[in-house]
């Protein structure tokens, strides 16, 4: 089953990555890394298959797409330990107190690895959600 959602997300990731590539005068992109949180509403499998089906059109396709799947994670309000919230359970598996949500709801571009960048090192980090200007400046 094809979902437009992952395809359009992938497209915005690729467009954003390519903007970074052009800005740094790199010939191509070796790797694009994204974070997919459990609550991000993005299916990592569909995202990966969308990547494998993407055709080189307006810009060069990165060699690989790495998807970091981030589970829903909380910190216990009592024992202060970090736990994966299995099955979205909001209670601490160790002591039963409430878990304070810390991560697992984001879909974002983590990094873009460029090849033959003229000015900078090979890896550029991008902070914030996809679509925002990356913060790396020389």
Rounded to a whole number of angstroms, the minimum distance from the CB of residue 110 to Zn ion is 29
Which of 43, 65, 46, 57 lies closest to 109 in space, CA to CA?
65
Are 74 and 94 in contact by the 8 Å Cβ rule? The answer is: no
Are 126 and 32 in contact by the 8 Å Cβ rule? The answer is: no
The strand pairing partners of 28, in sequence order, are 115
Rounded to a whole number of angstroms, the minimum distance from the CB of residue 91 to Zn ion is 8
Task: Classify 31 as helix, strand or coil.
Answer: strand
Rounded to a whole number of angstroms, the minimum distance from the CB of residue 75 to Zn ion is 9
Q: Please give the residue ranges that form the binding site for Zn ion (CB under 5 A).
A: 76, 78-79, 92, 94-95, 97
Q: Closest CB to Zn ion among 25 and 95?
A: 95
Q: Closest CB to Zn ion among 71 and 121?
A: 71
Q: Closest CB to Zn ion among 95 and 102?
A: 95
């Amino acid at each position: 089953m094809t979902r437009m959602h992952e395809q359009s997300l992938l497209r915005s990731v690729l467009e954003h990555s390519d903007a970074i590539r052009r800005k740094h005068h790199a010939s191509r992109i070796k790797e694009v890394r994204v974070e997919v949180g459990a609550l991000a509403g993005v299916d990592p499998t569909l995202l990966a298959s969308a990547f494998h089906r993407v055709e080189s059109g307006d810009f060069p396709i990165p060699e690989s797409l790495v998807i970091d799947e981030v589970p829903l994670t909380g910190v216990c309000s009592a024992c202060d330990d970090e736990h994966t919230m299995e099955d979205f359970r909001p209670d601490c598996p160790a002591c039963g107190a409430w878990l304070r949500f810390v991560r697992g709801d984001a879909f974002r571009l983590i990094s873009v690895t460029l090849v033959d960048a003229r000015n900078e090192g090979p890896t550029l980090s991008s902070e914030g959600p996809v679509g925002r200007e990356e913060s790396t400046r020389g």
